[in-house]
Amino acid sequence: MGKKKWMRDSKRIGFGLFLASFFFISCTTAPPVKKADERELLRNRVDQCWQYLVKQEVEKAYQCEAPSFREKVSIFEYVNRYKLVKYMDAQVSKVELDGDRGKVSTDITYRMFLRHIERKELKKSEQEAWIKIKDNWYHLPEGF
């Protein structure tokens, strides 16, 4: 009778440990991110990166670029690209997702520091590719 009781108790303990581990695992894993939530994360990231350019924090905007881009383009080269432009405003207008890739349209207002158009505000819609790497979204310039 002692052996049967020990078997019954060990099954209960084993089942209890199984339930406890299942409960622990289910509590520690993050719920899957819904596509709408992921779209909002990308929208916020794009807005953040464009606001760096609006505030002329080009060094911070550089960190938004894909690692493959940063490997080939130094921060010095990147900063020099923005010497003749001042972004006044940027508004994300459209976000499309396809897995870890995104396409984003942003309406921007800017000024060029050239004699013939220096005071004129210009507007355009910028279409950009973005890629998600290790839970972070990065701007992916053409060719990278």
Q: Can you give the CATH number for the domain in which 59 is found?
A: 3.10.450.50
Same domain, yes or no: 102 and 62 = yes
Q: Which of 83-87, 104-108, 111-115 has the lowest mean pLDDT?
A: 111-115
Residue 83 domain flag = yes
Same domain, yes or no: 108 and 53 = yes
- Those residues whose C-beta lies under 8 Å from the C-beta of residue 50, and which sit 6 or more positions away, are 87, 90, 92, 106, 108
pLDDT tens readout for residues 114-141? 777 667 899 999 999 999 999 999 999 9
Euclidean distance between CA atoms 144 and 139, whole angstroms: 10
Same domain, yes or no: 128 and 74 = yes
Same domain, yes or no: 63 and 122 = yes
Give the H/E segment covering residue 29.
none
Q: Which residue has better confidence, 6 or 41? A: 41
Same domain, yes or no: 12 and 45 = no
Q: What is the pLDDT of residue 73?
A: 97
β-strands 122-133, 136-139: how paired?
antiparallel
Same domain, yes or no: 67 and 46 = yes
Say what the pTM is.
0.74
For residue 3, name the pLDDT band (cuts at 50, 70, 90): low
Residue 65 domain flag = yes
Q: pLDDT > 90: what percent of the chain?
A: 65
Number of structural domains found in the chain: 2
pLDDT tens readout for residues 6-24? 556 656 555 554 545 555 5
Of 11, 47, 38, 3, the closest CA to residue 132 belongs to: 38
Same domain, yes or no: 56 and 97 = yes
User: Does the structure show a pLDDT above 90 at 55?
Assistant: yes
Residue 71 domain flag = yes
Same domain, yes or no: 103 and 43 = yes
Count the neighbouring beta carbons within 10 Å of the beta carbon of residue 31: 7
Q: What is the pLDDT of residue 137?
A: 98
**Is residue 66 left, alpha or beta, with left meaning phi > 0 and alpha meaning psi from -120 to 50?**
beta
Tell me the CA distances in angstroms from 78 to 20, 28, 50, one per residue in order: 52, 40, 14
User: Does the structure show a pLDDT above 70 at 76?
Assistant: yes
Count the neighbouring beta carbons within 10 Å of the beta carbon of residue 32: 8
DSSP 32: P
- Those residues whose C-beta lies under 8 Å from the C-beta of residue 75, and which sit 6 or more positions away, are 59, 62
Same domain, yes or no: 8 and 76 = no
Same domain, yes or no: 44 and 19 = no
pLDDT tens readout for residues 77-93? 999 999 999 999 999 99
Same domain, yes or no: 71 and 86 = yes
